[in-house]
Amino acid sequence: MNYTDNRFICVPITETNAESFLSAILEASQLADIVELRLDYLSTQDRSSVIARLPALTVNTACKDLLLTFRPREQGGQQDLSLEDRQDFWRNLPPEVIAATRFVDFEFDLVESWNGISPVPWEKVICSWHNFEETPNDLPARYDRMATTPAAIVKIATMANRITDCLKTFELIHYAKDKKPVIALAMSLAGVSTRILSLASGAMLTFGSLRKGAESAAGQITASDLRNLYRIKQLNSDSEILGIIGYPVGHSRSPLMHNTVLSLHGLNAAYLPFEVQDAGEFITDFVRPQTKKFAWNFRGLSVTIPHKLAVIPYLDSVDTTAKAIGAVNTIVINGGKLSGFNTDIVGAMKPLEELVELRDARVAVLGAGGSARAICYGLNQRGANTTIFARDMTKATPLAEEFEVKLHLLESFTGDFDIVINCTPIGMRHHSEGESPLKTEALKNTTLVYDLIYTPNTTALLCNAEKAGCQTLGGMSMLIGQATEQLRLWMGLDASFETMRKGLETK
């Protein structure tokens, strides 16, 4: 069987009662090419009820092709199932159900146990093996052992403990080219790139969950995101790869913003989240054209915590602004060279400058961390008169000295400023939502309050500012501003604020 022209998104059904399981199959059919029925999620009674209704479901509805799986716990299933339990299950499956099924998943030990005589035709059989501890180095040898069985397809899913484990998965897919079709995935957040790029690499199928919370394995992303956000069925080996490196990176909204713009412009490119522990190792093994171990065509990267400083030694050049604030948030890969930039400053300043004149403006910066540093640099360049307010004078003094600005304790804030910029996390969701670093009375003489926090959109500080009659600006404008500048640097794209905002609102 040749599947090279067929690349499938498969949605596993993980409901635990018969009715919701059956309705999830139909819901999944709208997103999936293949629907995997994880029959081990059901009790014996619910499983019998689902199986009895499968032939009618496949004939009378818009149900997509089915893959049946009955997984034992040690291979990632929900039940303790001996080899005999599984053999009995498959032997007793009614012929009309087998006929209505496109694929079945047999674990490697089960495949071997049939001694060539399977109750399901071999052309429907996926021979699977999972390792939930690690991604071992011998995947090609394991593939060869599995491929010598009569099963039509080989599936190998392993745990990625760090992003470099994905290289072994991509190498396996490459190894299996022109051999038996392979499904190869690295589980966990570090393995997400294999879920997005395995089809473009030559694998036959990738899994995407029906919704958040319905995953059948660690690191699975939704089928809707695979299809619509990352557009994985359109990607190929020529696709340009962009992404964000950070640790952790799962919360990042950058894929939403950037992929929306890439899709709108119809570009053969995708922006991925890369959970990277060691930025130097990632750049060497994945990105730098002279040393990378896989042929992905990296075009640019966003860099977030904790790598903004750590990436600098691995770049060929760093622009003046990024050098001055000692932080790179953008890498451009062009002509074999890696160049570092910082788009946070222009991203933060542009929306502010559109509202107020910064030259000689009296600006209060609350906080003295990474973003305060970028803001102080941007304000100095624009001739503003800056004062930092921080809770810890010892920590904040080096920043105030470096930029030659005044420094006071946050609790001693006086109201005489044209602009107040919050660079602390006070008021942020999951941190201190509802709290404000300043009360309404303190803002009575202020023209504009800018809060860098973007979740929530309207913070308690911005509410207080509105009550005090100030103009307000939220952190979303900076988030979008720095991303817009990144796309200009990477692809020469002129992305609109509105497109990016809509991308963010799709979630």
Least distance (Å) between residue 314 CB and ligand NAP = 22
Q: How far apart are the first and last CA of the chain?
A: 39
CA distances from 294 to 169, 304, 386, 400 (A): 11, 23, 48, 45
Q: How far apart are CA 138 and CA 127, in angstroms?
A: 17
The single-letter code of the amino acid at 239 is: S
The single-letter code of the amino acid at 252 is: S
Exposure on the CB side of residue 373, measured as CA atoms within 13 A = 17
138 is catalytic: no
- Closer of 183 and 374 to ligand NAP (Cβ): 374
CA distances from 276 to 158, 255, 257, 311, 414 (A): 18, 16, 20, 11, 42
Using the rule CB under 6 A, give the single segment among 166-174, 448-456, 459-467, 484-492 that binds ligand NAP. 448-456
| 452 lies in the binding site for ligand NAP (CB under 6 A) | yes
Q: Which of 344, 350, 418, 451 is catalytic?
A: 344
Least distance (Å) between residue 219 CB and ligand NAP = 25
What residue number has its CB nearest to ligand NAP? Answer: 369
Least distance (Å) between residue 399 CB and ligand NAP = 8
Contact between 500 and 480 (Cβ < 8 Å)? yes
Q: Which of 63, 187, 364, 410 binds ligand NAP (CB under 6 A)?
A: 410
| 456 lies in the binding site for ligand NAP (CB under 6 A) | no
Q: How many residues bind ligand NAP (CB under 6 A)?
A: 23
Phi (first) and psi of residue 11, to 5 degrees: -105, 120
DSSP label at residue 240: E
Q: Given the structure tokens 């502010």, which residue do they identify?
A: 352
Q: Which of 124, 155, 180, 350 is catalytic?
A: 155
- Closer of 273 and 367 to ligand NAP (Cβ): 367
Least distance (Å) between residue 293 CB and ligand NAP = 32
344 is catalytic: yes
Q: Which of 41, 143, 207, 454 binds ligand NAP (CB under 6 A)?
A: 454
| Integer Rg of the chain from CA | 27
Nearest by Cα to 100 from 132, 78, 67, 126:
67
Residues 271, 273, 279, 281: is their CA dihedral positive or negative?
negative
- Closer of 72 and 367 to ligand NAP (Cβ): 367
Residues sharing a CB contact under 8 Å with residue 19, sequence separation 6 or more, in sequence order: none
| 289 lies in the binding site for ligand NAP (CB under 6 A) | no
Least distance (Å) between residue 411 CB and ligand NAP = 9
Which three-class secondary structure state does DSSP give residue 365? Answer: strand
130 is catalytic: yes
Pull the structure tokens for residue 199. 């089809």
Least distance (Å) between residue 305 CB and ligand NAP = 7
| 428 lies in the binding site for ligand NAP (CB under 6 A) | yes
| DSSP string for residues in 85-152 | HHHHHHHTS-HHHHHT-SEEEEEHHHHHHTTT--SS-GGGEEEEEEESS---TTHHHHHHHHHTSS-S
- Closer of 196 and 478 to ligand NAP (Cβ): 478
Q: Which of 63, 186, 478, 500 binds ligand NAP (CB under 6 A)?
A: 478
Q: Say how many C-beta atoms besides its own lie within 10 A of residue 433's C-beta.
A: 14
* 386-405: contacts with ligand NAP (CB under 6 A): 390-392, 395
Least distance (Å) between residue 503 CB and ligand NAP = 15
Q: Which of 33, 308, 418, 451 is catalytic?
A: 308
392 is catalytic: no
| 423 lies in the binding site for ligand NAP (CB under 6 A) | yes
- Closer of 17 and 380 to ligand NAP (Cβ): 380
Pull the structure tokens for residue 345. 């400053």
Contact between 222 and 192 (Cβ < 8 Å)? no
Contact between 38 and 13 (Cβ < 8 Å)? yes
Q: Say how many C-beta atoms besides its own lie within 10 A of residue 66's C-beta.
A: 22
* 343-372: contacts with ligand NAP (CB under 6 A): 367-372
Nearest by Cα to 38 from 83, 70, 73:
70
Q: Which of 28, 31, 172, 479 binds ligand NAP (CB under 6 A)?
A: 479
- Closer of 337 and 395 to ligand NAP (Cβ): 395
Using the rule CB under 6 A, give the single segment among 19-27, 43-51, 308-316, 476-484 that binds ligand NAP. 476-484
| 453 lies in the binding site for ligand NAP (CB under 6 A) | yes
Nearest by Cα to 204 from 34, 379, 394, 28:
34
Can you give the binding site for ligand NAP, defined by CB under 6 A?
367-372, 390-392, 395, 410, 423-426, 428, 452-454, 475, 478-479, 482
Cite the active site residues: 130, 155, 308, 344
